[in-house]
Amino acid sequence: MAKTRSANCGPECLNRSPDSEAVVETTENRKRSRSQFPDESLIKTRSPAKWRSPRGCTGKLLCSPKSPRKRLSDQFSQRPKWNPRDPSQMQAVKEALHVATAPTNVACRKDEQKRILEFCKACIEQEKAGSLYVCGSPGTGKSLSVDKVKDLLAVRSKEVGFQSLDTLAINCTSLTNTSKIFSKILEKFHYCKKTSDGFSPLQHLQNLFSHKKQPSSGKMMLIIVDEMDYLITKDCAVLHNLFMLTTFPFSRCILIGIANAINLADRFLPKLESLNCKPVVITFHAYSKDQILKILHHRLMVLQFDVFQPLALEFCARKVAAASGDMRKALGVCRSAVEVLEAQLRDATRNQDTDIVMFDHMNIALSKAVKSAVVDTIQSLPQHQQIILCSLVKLFRQCKKNATTLGDLNKAYSETCKSSQIPAVGTLEFTNMCKVLSDQGLLKLGQSREDKLKRVTLQIDSSDITFAFKGNRFFSNLPGVAMI
Ligand SMILES: Nc1ncnc2c1ncn2[C@@H]1O[C@H](COP(=O)(O)OP(=O)(O)OP(=O)(O)O)[C@@H](O)[C@H]1O
Ligand SMILES: [Mg+2]
């Protein structure tokens, strides 16, 4: 299992103070926050007879031709400063930056949302089952985007007069065992027949979708399976059976699986292809610096005042983009920077003359968070991806260069594997793994028509890689790698 952290919530969720419980995402609080924003009116004033792209969901402010930096400084220079000593203002800032506070619109994910929406729309219109696999590294807005599309579908299917869509959202971290997923789906289909007839829930579902007459008045069912990595078993049987449900002649399932990219290439997709039920794949790439900045800016718009020095926000966005492109991390770092300022204001011995989060506050928060986050990411990578990183550092040191090509990296990787008697993966899988490392913000891949000619550079400090493997017996015993 690639992920070790808690499901949809960064460490800050664990440390939440009792009064910040109010930000836990509830339908009520989502409704409340939505109504303050322009995009709700966009949804409401749409012509009811038409499905539209979710492009309109993004506020007009984003369309300004100015650079993000310029826009940001304009916004900040026009707004009043906050009073960090005012507890209610401080609480509002922390809520705006809390991962559990649902943003009104999901900035920078218009295309992905549009593709998901169009896919579901086509299934509903044609009354045809189908499956989608949404993947990407942590904190790239996958769950958020799918959730938003789910809400849009509910609104729009009512507007266009479709039979309402049944929706089932399952977070796999809550399942006591992987095959429980089938009983959850069966329950949602209001399937009352006694299951003591010797058939498993999976067999009941297969049976159900093999015959025309179905309960639940034949409605289409949108099944969202989040944190699907947890269903990956040795033989991937649960996953295969789940996706196969969409291939039965009378299946009415629109299945959306959401998972991290790490297990994608080498695990279950090839088998699904051979079973003729390969899902449509939508990849969420790590957020870039500009995207992180834009999202932070959007989230801070709910506040009437200016909290961050623009340079401090930009610094956070740049560092998080280079480390992982994880929005959860960016929000955590910003909250932590606010807390650094808060602590300094509380410290009576300090002569604190600033009432805004400055570059230095952000720097302290970043050095606490990002540094260890990169090392954590490296340490939780699958072994072959770790070998690729080690081979790259070794190659750079040997050649005294800081760039190479994918072809040369593949050679260095194969040599490392050979000398440690580990079977190397094939070229295609190697290339896919490098793309995953690039998505994680660890490598940078250049553009070239031929994969092997793509330029490879490191996006992180090579000392983070050395540090991550310090004390790791396997890596310190790898011939030639011990030197890194
Ligand atoms: N485009 C965005 N606009 C506003 N907030 C965002 C955006 N993307 C991510 N976030 C914030 O980051 C948090 C994490 O996003 P999300 O849960 O969608 O990530 P994920 O890709 O599903 O990650 P994981 O693989 O870890 O489950 C969200 O709760 C939200 O607060
Ligand atoms: Mg998620």
Mean pLDDT of 214-224: 77
| 289, amino acid identity | K
Residue nearest to atom 3 of ligand 1 (CA): 106
- Residue 446, classed as helix, strand or coil, is coil
Nearest to residue 341, comparing CAs of 70, 76, 97?
Answer: 97
Q: Which CATH class is domain 110-284?
A: alpha beta
C-alpha of residue 371 to centroid of ligand 1, in Å: 21
C-alpha of residue 90 to centroid of ligand 2, in Å: 28
**Residue from 6, 8, 109, 327 whose mutation best tests the ligand 1 pocket (most atoms within 8 A of CB):** 327
Q: Convert the pLDDT of each residue in 119-142 to its tens digit.
A: 999 998 888 999 999 999 889 999
- Say how far apart CA 464 and CA 466 lie, in whole Å: 6
Structure-token pair, residue 87: 């507890």
Q: State yes or no: pLDDT of 274 exceeds 90.
A: no
Angle at 471 between CA 393 and CA 478, to 5 degrees: 50
Q: Which CATH class is domain 381-477?
A: mainly alpha
Tell me if the domain spanning 64-105+288-378 has CATH number 3.30.70.920.
no
Q: Convert the pLDDT of each residue in 222-271 to its tens digit.
A: 999 999 888 877 778 898 999 999 999 999 999 999 998 555 545 677 77
Could you check whether 64-105+288-378 and 381-477 share the same CATH topology? Answer: no
Range from 26-30, 164-168, 194-198, 428-432 carrying the lowest mean pLDDT? 26-30
pTM of the model: 0.67
Mean pLDDT of 288-292: 97
Report pLDDT for 114. Answer: 96
Containing H/E element for 283?
strand 280-284
- Say how far apart CA 264 and CA 344 lie, in whole Å: 45
- Say how far apart CA 20 and CA 12 lie, in whole Å: 11
The average confidence (pLDDT) of the chain is 79
**Which residue stretches of 180-323 are H helix?**
180-188, 201-208, 237-244, 269-274, 289-300, 310-323
Contact between residue 226 and residue 172 where contact means Cβ atoms under 8 Å apart? yes
* Domain extents in the chain: 64-105+288-378, 110-284, 381-477
**Residue from 328, 334, 335 whose mutation best tests the ligand 1 pocket (most atoms within 8 A of CB):** 328
Q: Above pLDDT 90, what percent of the chain?
A: 46
Structure-token pair, residue 365: 């928060």
Q: Convert the pLDDT of each residue in 382-409 to its tens digit.
A: 889 999 999 999 899 888 888 999 999 9
Report pLDDT for 39. Answer: 33
Q: Convert the pLDDT of each residue in 313-366 to its tens digit.
A: 999 999 999 888 999 999 999 999 999 999 998 887 777 677 899 999 999 999
Cβ count within 10 A of residue 409: 22
Structure-token pair, residue 205: 């579902």
In whole angstroms, how far apart are CA 133 and each of 181, 185, 223, 272? 17, 18, 12, 11
Residue nearest to atom 14 of ligand 1 (CA): 139
**Which residue stretches of 35-127 are H helix?**
38-45, 68-78, 87-96, 110-126
Q: Which ligand neighbours the alpha carbon of 9 most closely? A: 1
Q: State yes or no: pLDDT of 25 exceeds 80.
A: no
Mean pLDDT of 200-211: 90
Report pLDDT for 213. Answer: 66
- Residue 268, classified by CB atoms within 10 Å of its CB into exposed (0-12), middle (13-18) or buried (19+), is buried
